[in-house]
Structure 1
Amino acid sequence: MVKHTILCVDDEIDNVDALERLFRKKFTVLKATSGKEALAVLDEHPGPVSLIITDQRMPEMTGVEFLERTLESHPETIRILLTGYTDLESVIMAVNKGQIFRYLTKPWDPVDLTNTVEHAIERFALGQELKQKNAELGKALDELKSLDVAKSNFMILINHELKTPLTSILSFSSLLAESNLNDEDKLMVNRITKSAERLKTLVEDVLLVVRAETNQLKIDMQSIAFTQFDESLSKDVNDLLQKKQQKLVSKLEPVTVKADARLIKQVMLRLIHNAAKFGEEGSEIHIESIRNGANLRFLVHNKGPHLPNSVVDKITKPFYIDEDVMHHSTGTGLGLTICQSILKSHQSQLQFKNTNQGVMVFFELAVG
């Protein structure tokens, strides 16, 4: 068990001796009969001092002045002030300048003083324990940050290296597809190409998320007015819209915003894809932009099942797939994560709202 050290200061030697006799069994007691001597004792003592008990009225240096001098050298030490008179101004000064734990009037009650000292030592011990825990947490946090950086660098390296063999696979499968193949061989080459294309898309998506999260995503901010998005839809999305007999209804305000046009288009196209995937057959998907003060709100609204609150909290996290919501569809769960990462770089974020007609997903960009 750690034996705490306390310093007792009083210009009357009898009082110092009385304090020593009261506490020497449980604590290491240092003594001084003036503020100047007490400062010297603190300078010479090698270990921490848990508690200082000092008289207020002393020649040359008052107790408050002494305690104030100790704040820089012993900031964690607990302080108790003994005063032989009820001077409110002096007590207030002690609290403000000396940062005392408690003040007691003289003559002190031994039981009251002992209890006060016990509480003060407990407070010091808790403070030391908290300091140690904070240091351990700080070290753990630094290690986590290092691991996070290493993870991100590893992901970037691996994904970059994956592109080289993928390029070869796609190039040679393309050449092979142009050869004189029978139907079965053509089917196998086609499957190789589709799988390689899917892996390429996954690599590019992961790279985008990692770069965004590590502030390495290149942003080309320009003033641009988005007046349509449906002209950039992929063949897969157009095929899905046609298969489900869905109709896109656009109502976009020709208002200029500050954004990276390529990245924001990617966000909107992913949101339209999601709306088509989860929207009802034969329904309309509304794409709108609405002025909202200094911002322009972009929204995609589809008619379909509501999103439970528990799912809303998770769907923007990487690789999250809820089979009930996704209707057992396949995917990496990166789509909305990518949208969120891109919008984060634009000081924005995705928001979700269940409506009477279905689900609305929206975000805002600064007008300018």
Structure 2
Amino acid sequence: MERTLLLVDDEENITSALVRLLRRDGYCILRANSGDAGLELLRQNEVGVIISDQRMPGMTGVEFLGKVRDLYPDTVRIVLSGYTELNSVTDAINRGAIYKFFTKPWEDDLLRANVEEAFQRYEMKMENVRLTAELQRANEELLSINHQLEQRVEEKTREVMRNLSILQVSQEVLEHLPVAVIGIGDDGMIAIANMSAHRIFTDVGNKAMVGEAATEVLPAELLACALVGECRKQQGSFPHGPDGKHANYWCCPMGEISHSRGVVIVIDVEP
């Protein structure tokens, strides 16, 4: 960042002396011979530090720097004054219009050191402004991301609730079918069994079929159909019950329209 210094004094010999003193420090130095001219330069340039004489015609240094404080509050403002003007300068310092003041004649090394310090102060302000702006942008982006996430969560929640409702309806339909429906996973365990299946293969009130090995519950006639890898949309019948009735069955492999693996068996006992 280029360091731009504005010198305001109606006496050209004063600004020339300041330029000779301060240009060795590498500053870009602007000069104005009045407060109005100084304000015009400030409109056209980004200035970090201002050194203004106090006693100038039309507008004093304190008045000029007071306007600068209102228009460009981040600038660091220094005033040069005589001993007879200390009261007005002190009041300006108390109001925050002036950072420091030096009396004429000034001490060269002290003035140079304080101008360097003033630029460091200005650059720290600008860095704080930059970091604050970045933080604000980051917060705005975070708020936007959070809002998008909340919307996605709401959409997923609605989707889950819809799927749950569909699942509940499907489960109720399955339970009230007049035929037995049994689903067997590729591990050979029974994953689904409706009420009709329980009525056929277990005593009412006895243990549930779900979670049991198919070989422990189903008759041998069905096991060949139930074996994963051998089921090929087959159908048949097997004797059921002591009265010689037959049960018809249909066996179908899973995975054609879903990612499920295993078989579904539908069984209808003859009346």
TM-score normalised per structure 1: 0.47
8 Å CA contact 1:54, 1:81 repeated in 2? yes
Q: Which amino acid aligns with 1:150?
A: Q
Output the amino acid matched with 1:113. L
* 8 Å contact from structure 1 (residues 64, 93) kept in 2: no
- Structure 2 counterpart of 1:40: 40
Choose which of 101, 121, 132 in structure 2 pairs with 1:103. 101
Deviation at 1:87, TM superposition (A): 4.1
Q: Distance in 2 between matches of 1:137 and 1:187?
A: 60
Equivalent in 117, 135, 138 of residue 137 of structure 1:
135
Aligned to 1:57: 55
* Structure 1 residue 112 displacement after superposition: 0.7
| Change over 3 Å in CA distance of 1:92–1:151 after alignment to 2 | same
Q: Which residue does 2:75 correspond to in 1? A: 77
1:144-183 to structure 2, matched below 5 A, reads: 144-178=142-176, 179-182=195-198, 183=202
Kindly indicate whether the alpha-carbon contact (under 8 Å) linking 1:64 and 1:98 is maintained by their aligned counterparts in 2: no
Matches within 5 A, 1:301-312: none
1:119-138: CA deviation from partner (whole Å, max 9, x where unpaired): 00001111111111111111
Distance 2:163 2:207 in 1: 22
Q: Secondary structure at the match of 1:31?
A: strand
Give the secondary-structure state (helix, strand or coil) at the position aligned to 2:73: coil
Q: Distance in 1 between matches of 2:155 and 2:143?
A: 18
What percent identity do the matched residue pairs reach? 36
Equivalent residue number for residue 28 of structure 1: 28
Distance 1:108 1:97 in 2: 24
How far residue 88 of structure 1 moved from its aligned partner, in angstroms, is 4.3
Name the CA distance, whole Å, in 2 between partners of 1:101 and 1:49.
15
Equivalent residue runs for 1:262-277 within 5 Å? none
Q: 1:139 to 1:187 in 2, by over 3 A?
A: farther
Of the three residues 202, 210, 213, the one matched with 1:188 is 210
Equivalent pair of 1:177/1:186 in contact (CA under 8 Å): no
CA distance in 2, matches of 1:92, 1:185: 95
Residue in 1 that maps onto 2:9: 10
Q: How many angstroms does 1:177 deviate by?
A: 3.7
**Partner residue, 1:122:** 120
- d(CA) in 2 for partners of 1:163, 1:185: 31
Q: Are the counterparts in 2 of residues 10 and 54 from structure 1 also a CA contact under 8 Å?
A: yes
Name the SS for the 1:181 alignment partner.
helix
CA shift for structure 1 position 48: 0.9
Secondary structure, in 3 states, of the residue corresponding to 1:111? helix
Inter-CA distance 10–174: structure 2 relative to 1 (3 Å threshold): same
In structure 2, the CA distance between the partners of 1:10 and 1:123, relative to structure 1 (3 Å rule), is same
Q: For the structure 1 residues 131 and 187, does the alpha-carbon distance in structure 2 shift closer, same or farther, using more than 3 Å as the test?
A: farther
Native 8 Å contact 1:64 1:97 kept in 2: no
Q: What is the match of residue 18 of structure 2?
A: 19
Q: Quote how far apart the aligned CAs of 1:92 are.
A: 2.7
Q: Secondary structure at the match of 2:197?
A: coil
* DSSP 3-state at the match of 2:51: strand
TM-score normalised by structure 2 residue count = 0.64
SS of aligned partner of 1:128: helix
| Code of the aligned partner of 1:151 | L
Q: Distance in 2 between matches of 1:173 and 1:188?
A: 14
| Higher gyration radius (CA) | 2
Task: Give the length in aligned residue pairs.
Answer: 186
| Cα 1:165–1:98 shift into 2, 3 Å | closer
CA contact (8 A) 1:7 1:30 kept: yes
- Cα distance in 2 between the residues matched to 1:41 and 1:98: 22
Amino acid at match of 2:89: V
Q: Relative to structure 1, is the Cα distance of residues 63 and 98 closer, same or farther in structure 2, using a 3 angstrom cutoff?
A: farther
**Which letter maps to 1:54?**
S
- Return structure 1 stretches of 4+ with deviation > 4 angstroms: 183-187
Correspondence 1:330-345 to 2 at 5 A: none
State the shift of 1:76 in Å: 1.2
- Give the match's secondary structure for 1:24: helix
Q: Who is 1:267 aligned against?
A: none
* Corresponding residue for residue 252 of structure 2: none
Q: CA deviation at 1:162?
A: 1.1
Q: CA RMSD in A?
A: 2.1
